[in-house]
A = this chain, B = another copy of it.
Amino acid sequence: MDDRYLLVSADCHAGPESGHYREYIDPELREAYDEYLENVAGMRGLLAGNQGGRNQFVDRFLAETGDAGLQSVSDAHKRDALLDADGVAAEVIFPDADVLGVGKVDSSPFGSGLGSSGSSDPEKVMAGARADNRWLAEMCGESPDRRAGVACVPVVHDPERAVEEIKWAAEHGLKGGIMIPHTWAPYPAYNDPRYDVVWSACVDYDMTVQTHSGGGLGDVQGGPGAIAIIASESWFMPARPLWVLLLGGVFERFPKLRFAVTEDGAWWVPDAIERADDKYLGTNHNVLKMGPNAFRDGLTMKPSEYFARNCFIGASTPTPSEIARRERIGITSMMWGNDFPHPEGTWPHTRDWLAIRFHDVPAHECRRLFSLNALECYPGFDADTLQAIADRIGPTVHDVHEAPVPQNPDVAGGYTDVAEDTFV
């Protein structure tokens, strides 16, 4: 019970302080970047204010954390200290660390971060992605054992150009793989063979492909409840590439390709996969009129078998409902993450949060969710090196399972009030 869990957070964020990206942008686009920053500042002004009673939450987070983790976003040593305190030995780093929309940290330039899509300007979004990747490679280089940086690669506009960036990222230590836009329109969907050069390069360079939550369908632009509506359905676009790749036969054509969907919930996975299996097996009568073989086209295994072999779910801070459904979601697929330094994550209360949520989950399953799956999804990590760090700073098995369950009012949201069997 004195054993310490290795925690690998499969969902963290970093980015430099405002203006710092400029020197990483190609010189011919720096003026355009200045204009872009002015527009972003204007939008931030529109979004500011106490909408929805937001200030109370912001104030509490600032009071708890001192600076909302702002120093950590570009200072690897400060970052290590905060992760140590939270019990986290290693992290996968996505872009867009601007934790509260307060504008002290930039988003990945030209919309190349979490909201990247096919509608971006091809030249600018690739230049922005390259700027983030260059900055991130430097930051990760300061304590490389603990960090798997994720390269932004807007693959939709020019797949061949994307391959060059994948190669660059792999050669510069970004072992978190690549994040692709979850929204491909107006370009073809990811089942299209035009992207096979991308998947092939990711296999060759051992780079995981992933989407991450950020942005929605874009057709709810205001009116009553707009924030609630957008937040409720924002899971859908980042989730789509999973079944597009799977049913499009990409995992058949690239058996070694790894794909993860991160910070996008996990509750939707069992139905998505079971429904795909039903169609593949012909047990779903409703779709047979489209041709029974339409659901086997290019596949040699059941969808659930590809999912188990090729896919991971960066479940971040799973709900009680998701933890209760972990078997169906996939014990070997789910990855925990603290979403550091975002305020919707568990930092700086990860130790309490893990004990509250996981105290009755068997330790061998916790190990899968806390690190073993992440070590498979991101093979650039060295397990022994990280366990040595965990042996110093990780939560003990006793802390999570045997100590009295913490009553921590700062672990917001009344987690302990929700009966788990409500959700199964």
Seen from chain A, the residues whose Cβ lies within 8 Å of a Cβ on chain B are 50-54, 56-58, 61, 100, 184-186, 188-189, 191-193, 219-229, 231-233, 236, 240, 243-244, 247-249, 267-268, 271-272, 274-276, 278-279, 281-295, 297-299, 316-317, 319, 321, 342-344, 411-415, 417-418, 422-424
A291, B52: Cβ atoms under 8 Å? yes
Copies of this chain, complex-wide, total: 2
Can you list 5 A-B contacts with CB-CB less than 8 angstroms, sorted by A residue number? Answer: A54-B294, A227-B291, A274-B321, A278-B418, A284-B413
Shortest distance between the CB of A86 and any CB in chain B (Å):
15
Max chain B Cβ within 10 angstroms of own Cβ: one of A100, A223, A225, A249: A225
Q: Which residue of B lies closest to A230 (CB)?
A: B290
When distances are taken between beta carbons in the complex, the residues of chain B under 8 Å from A240 are 233
| CB pair B267 A53 closer than 8 Å | no
In the bound complex, CA of A161 to CA of B274 (Å): 43
Contacts of A271 in B (CB 8 A): 267-268, 271, 321
Question: Is the pair A244, B268 in contact by a Cβ cutoff of 8 Å?
Answer: no
Q: Give Cα A279 to B225, complex, Å.
A: 12
Are A283 and B418 within 8 A (Cβ)? yes
Q: Contact: A219 with B184, CB < 8 Å?
A: yes
* Given A54-B294, A189-B229, A278-B319, 9 more pairs with CB closer than 8 A: A53-B292, A61-B289, A225-B299, A231-B287, A233-B240, A236-B236, A285-B317, A286-B316, A289-B344
The reply to whether B414 and A232 contact each other, CB–CB distance below 8 Å, is no
Is there an interface contact between B57 and A292, defined as CB atoms closer than 8 Å? yes
Is B291 a contact of A415 with CB atoms below 8 Å? no
Contact A290 B223 (CB under 8 A): no
Q: Could you tell me if A247 and B219 are in contact, using CB atoms closer than 8 angstroms?
A: no
Minimum distance in angstroms from A360 CB to a CB of chain B: 18
The answer on a CB contact under 8 Å between B57 and A289 is yes
Nearest B residue (CB) for A282 = B413
- With A189-B220, A249-B225, A422-B274 already in contact, the answer to whether A288 and B232 are too (CB < 8 A) is no
Alpha-carbon distance A275/B50, docked complex (angstroms): 24
CB-based closest 6 A-B pairs? A52-B291, A52-B294, A54-B291, A285-B413, A225-B247, A53-B293
Q: What chain B residues lie within 8 Å of A417 (beta carbons)?
A: 283
Residues in B whose Cβ lies below 8 Å from that of A414: 281-283
Q: In the assembly, what is the distance between CA of A51 and CA of B294, in Å?
A: 7
Chain B contacts for A222, CB-based, 8 A = 188, 192
Contact of A243 among B233, B244, B287, B294 (CB under 8 A): B233
Determine if A51 and B412 form an interchain contact, defined as CB atoms under 8 angstroms apart.
no
Q: How far is the CA of A286 from the CA of B268 in the complex (A)?
A: 17
Most buried by B among A52, A54, A193, A279: A52
Given known A-B contacts A268-B271, A272-B232, A191 and B226 have beta carbons under 8 A apart = yes
- From B184, B232, B283, give the contact of A413 (CB < 8 A): B283
> Is the beta-carbon distance between B297 and A228 smaller than 8 angstroms?
yes
Counting chain B CB atoms within 10 Å of each CB, which of A54, A299, A316 scores highest? A54
- A424 — which chain B residues lie within 8 A by C-beta? 424
Please, which residues of chain B bring their CB within 8 A of the CB of A53? 291-294
Query: Would B412 and A293 count as touching, CB distance under 8 A?
Result: no
In the bound complex, how far is the Cα of B417 from the Cα of A284, in angstroms?
Answer: 12
Cα(A405)–Cα(B54), bound, Å: 57
Beta-carbon nearest neighbor of A277 in chain B: B422
Of all chain B residues, which has the CB nearest A422? B274
Q: A317 contacts which chain B residues (CB < 8 A)?
A: 285-286
Give complex CA distance A268, B224 in Å. 23
A294 in contact with B219 given A233-B240, A243-B233, A288-B413 (CB within 8 Å): no
Residues of B within 8 A of A226 (CB): 189, 191, 248
Residues on B with C-beta less than 8 A from A319 are 278, 284
| A243, B232: Cα distance in complex, Å | 8
Is A297's CB under 8 angstroms from B52's CB?
A: yes
